[in-house]
C-alpha cells in the first residue's frame, strides 16, 4: 500500500459517512509486563524491536508504536519526516545518539524467547541485515523501530515517559488457536453492533503512510523522506485492557 491509496480509502469512507476500521492485532493483545502510556504523558523518545520482513511485520511494529504514541500530550499532531537505515548505519545511529541505546537495551529486557536472551552474543553480533525506521514527529517526539532478524523473534517497545523509562513485550500466541487475533475480531464485531469504529482509523492511516515513506527512504539509501501530508491531528479515546490468559497452545500441524 502507499499513502495515496490509503488516503483515498480514508477520504472515501468519510464522504460516504461509512465507519472505517483497520489495523493490526498487536495493539489489542497481551503486554508483558502490563504497561501503557499514560494519557497526556510527555514523551520524548520510543524504541521498538521487530522482526521478519519490513514491508509486512514492519506494519505491525508501527501499529504497536502508534497505539502508544497517540496517547501522548496533545494527541497526534503529525509526522515531519521518516528515514530508514540499514546495515552498519543502524549501529552508527545508536553510537551517535540518533537512536537511544538505553531504550533499545530496555526493550530487550521483557523479551522471553528471542535468541539474544541466551546472552552468548550481542544484538550487533546476532542481527542479520538490521534496519531502523526513524520517525520524527512534528512535536519533536521520535520513534525508532529496529528490525533485528537473527537476534529477536518477538515484539517489544520501550519509551521515556515524564522522565522515566517503561518497557513491555507485545505477546502473540504463536500456536493454535492463535488467540491474539480474538481481540482484533472483537473490535470489529463491536463496530458492527454500534456503527462506530472501536479505535481510530487515523492510526492506520499514519502507520501505512510511515511505512510507505520508510520503504522509499530505504530504496534511496536512508535519505530522509519529508511527510508534510501527515499533518492530520487526531485524539484517540481507545483504551487497552490486558486480555484474559490464553488457552494452552497446540502445535500448528496438529489435527
Q: What ranges do the domains of the chain cover?
A: 3-226
Mean pLDDT of 112-120: 94
Q: In this predicted model, what pLDDT tens digit does every residue of 13-25 receive, in sequence order?
A: 999 999 999 999 9
- Residue 180: pLDDT band (50, 70, 90) is confident
Q: Which residues pair with 48 in a beta bridge?
A: 145, 157
CA atoms of 134 and 225, how far apart (whole Å): 11
CA atoms of 158 and 57, how far apart (whole Å): 18
Burial of 166 (0-12, 13-18, 19+ CB in 10 A): buried
Which of 169, 181, 179, 182 shows the shortest CA–CA distance to 250?
Answer: 179
Is the pTM value of this prediction over 0.85?
A: yes
The CATH number of the structural domain formed by 3-226 is 3.30.360
Predicted local distance difference test score (pLDDT) of residue 178: 76
Predicted local distance difference test score (pLDDT) of residue 254: 61
The grid coordinates listed for 198 are: 472501536
Range with lowest mean pLDDT among 33-42, 56-65, 191-200: 191-200
Q: In this predicted model, what pLDDT tens digit does every residue of 209-228 receive, in sequence order?
A: 999 999 999 999 999 999 99
For residue 73, how many other CB atoms are within 10 A of its CB?
Answer: 13
CA 38 to each of CA 30, 69, 159, 160, 184: distance values in angstroms, whole numbers, following the listed order: 17, 10, 12, 11, 22
Predicted local distance difference test score (pLDDT) of residue 255: 54
Amino acid at each position: 500500500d502507499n499513502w495515496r491509496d490509503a488516503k483515498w480509502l480514508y477520504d472515501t469512507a468519510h464522504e460516504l459517512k461509512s465507519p472505517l476500521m483497520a489495523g493490526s492485532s498487536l495493539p489489542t493483545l497481551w503486554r508483558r509486563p502490563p504497561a501503557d502510556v499514560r494519557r497526556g504523558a510527555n514523551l520524548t523518545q520510543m524504541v521498538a524491536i521487530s522482526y521478519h520482513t519490513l514491508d509486512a511485520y514492519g506494519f505491525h511494529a508501527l501499529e504497536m508504536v502508534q497505539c502508544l504514541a497517540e496517547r501522548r500530550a496533545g494527541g497526534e499532531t503529525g509526522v515531519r519526516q521518516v528515514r530508514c537505515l540499514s546495515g552498519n548505519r543502524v549501529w552508527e545511529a545508536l553510537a551517535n545518539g540518533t537512536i537511544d541505546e538505553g531504550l533499545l537495551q530496555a526493550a530487550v529486557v521483557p523479551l522471553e524467547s528471542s535468541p539474544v536472551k541466551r546472552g552468548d552474543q550481542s544484538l550487533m553480533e546476532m542481527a542479520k541485515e538490521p534496519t531502523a525506521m526513524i520517525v520524527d514527529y512534528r512535536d519533536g517526539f521520535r520513534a525508532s523501530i529496529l528490525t533485528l532478524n537473527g537476534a529477536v523473534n518477538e515484539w517489544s517497545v520501550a519509551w521515556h515517559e515524564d522522565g522515566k523509562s517503561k518497557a513491555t513485550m507485545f505477546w502473540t500466541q504463536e500456536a493454535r488457536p492463535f488467540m491474539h487475533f480474538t481481540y482484533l475480531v472483537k473490535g470489529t464485531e463491536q463496530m458492527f453492533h454500534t456503527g462506530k469504529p472501536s479505535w481510530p482509523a487515523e492510526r492506520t492511516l499514519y502507520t501505512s503512510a510511515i511505512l510507505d515513506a520508510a520503504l522509499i527512504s530505504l530504496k534511496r539509501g536512508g535519505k530522509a523522506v519529508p511527510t508534510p501530508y501527515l499533518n492530520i491531528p487526531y485524539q484517540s479515546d481507545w483504551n487497552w485492557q490486558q486480555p484474559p490468559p490464553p488457552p494452552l497452545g497446540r502445535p500448528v500441524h496438529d489435527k
